[in-house]
Structure 1
């Protein structure tokens, strides 16, 4: 996942320019994906028997799922190259919203200091490739693995996402779903950045903000 020069330190951001420039309808790629999924991904958002908070969490999860891979490639939401994955789902415990984010991380200090576990092999960390103005983390290729083994460490962050700053969920599948979905994923990106960005700053050698 690539990072751009003006967003290179942000874990998540909306790529509105690409979304507009490559839209099949001339307006929004994301909007087209949302409309195509009103009866599938978004189908559970319109159940009148659910509470408003429950429907909002379900709508937010559906909006995020649609804005990211593998549904959209590239996604409407773009990610820093340290981000291996980011899911937003409604909790089956209480209906709240839960985020799960995995990040590329350095080796744990205990492993980095020790050579006993290496069995004489030249283990390598996450590989990187030059892309744009910087280097992005990538998975090793099959050829890479034939030449040396890799130990790829990662961090898993799991945390609640508040709903009080989200726009309300649409009342039905024909009630400005696209506009509300776009607003929702923008808020979600900001909420995830609030938690994830300080961790990313430390991993990249910056003072946490």
Structure 2
């Protein structure tokens, strides 16, 4: 998975930094086994519920550094269930202000800040100046037909290989839909005539 994609899986780091010599993520699955129990004591046999739990465990704040990495523009990524128990991946992306909006703001407004080490976007923390930032919210239904059947070990822990396959199916599906969007957002805009502070800032 390349740098212009929404999700990246850190398989090498997961193996090389594992205390058991196999997988860091496997240890987190054991510590969070209860997340695979939906509405009762029995472990879920539903592929979507299994995949959603696997994704949550592999992501911050539970797992840090995470197994599932995100593009710097991703502010939030988590499964979302509706009232009919349909699950979608909910994403929030940092985007530039639309020109029609930016042109209505004074030029001294600040915009998104970027962490100098990770490149991740974040809103200014100080209140010493006005700022305006735009987010794009996206929901992608999970591809139920592409998800593996749940598998558990003899002691009731989600099988790490199955959990990783479920996560990969989610990430591959999301990346196939939104890579072009990330590429477009990251492309320099030579026709952008509104102040750079309306779009991005730098960490102070």
1:43 to 30, 37, 46: 37
1:3 maps to none
**Once the two structures are superposed, what CA deviation does each residue of 1:174-198 show, in whole Å capped at 9, x if it has no partner?**
3762221011111111111122222
Aligned residue pairs, count: 187
Shift of 1:90: 4.2
2:183 to 194, 201, 206: 201
Kept in 2: contact 1:61–1:90 (CA 8 A): no
Structure 2 CA distance, aligned partners of 1:21 and 1:88? 28
Q: Does 1:138 align with 2:122?
A: yes
Kept in 2: contact 1:58–1:90 (CA 8 A): no
Q: Does 1:126 align with 2:112?
A: yes
Q: Does 1:157 align with 2:138?
A: yes
2:2 to 7, 10, 28: 7
Shift of 1:57: 1.2
**Once the two structures are superposed, what CA deviation does each residue of 1:130-172 show, in whole Å capped at 9, x if it has no partner?**
337xx44233233xx32x2221111000121221111112267
Kept in 1: contact 2:78–2:91 (CA 8 A): yes
Residues 1:89 and 1:111: Cα distance change in structure 2 (over 3 Å)? closer
Alignment of 1:1-209 (within 5 A): 7-38=2-33, 40-44=34-38, 55-93=46-84, 95-115=85-105, 118=106, 122-131=108-117, 135-142=119-126, 145-146=127-128, 148-170=129-151, 174=156, 177-205=159-187
Structure 2 CA distance, aligned partners of 1:15 and 1:99? 19
Q: How does the TM-score come out when normalised to structure 1?
A: 0.78
Structure 2 CA distance, aligned partners of 1:46 and 1:181? 21
Structure 1 CA distance, aligned partners of 2:158 and 2:108? 55
Moved over 6 A (4+): 45-50
Higher helix share: 1
> Tell me, which stretches of 5 or more residues in structure 1 are unaligned?
1-5
RMSD between superposed Cα atoms in Å: 2.7
Structure 2 CA distance, aligned partners of 1:164 and 1:130? 40
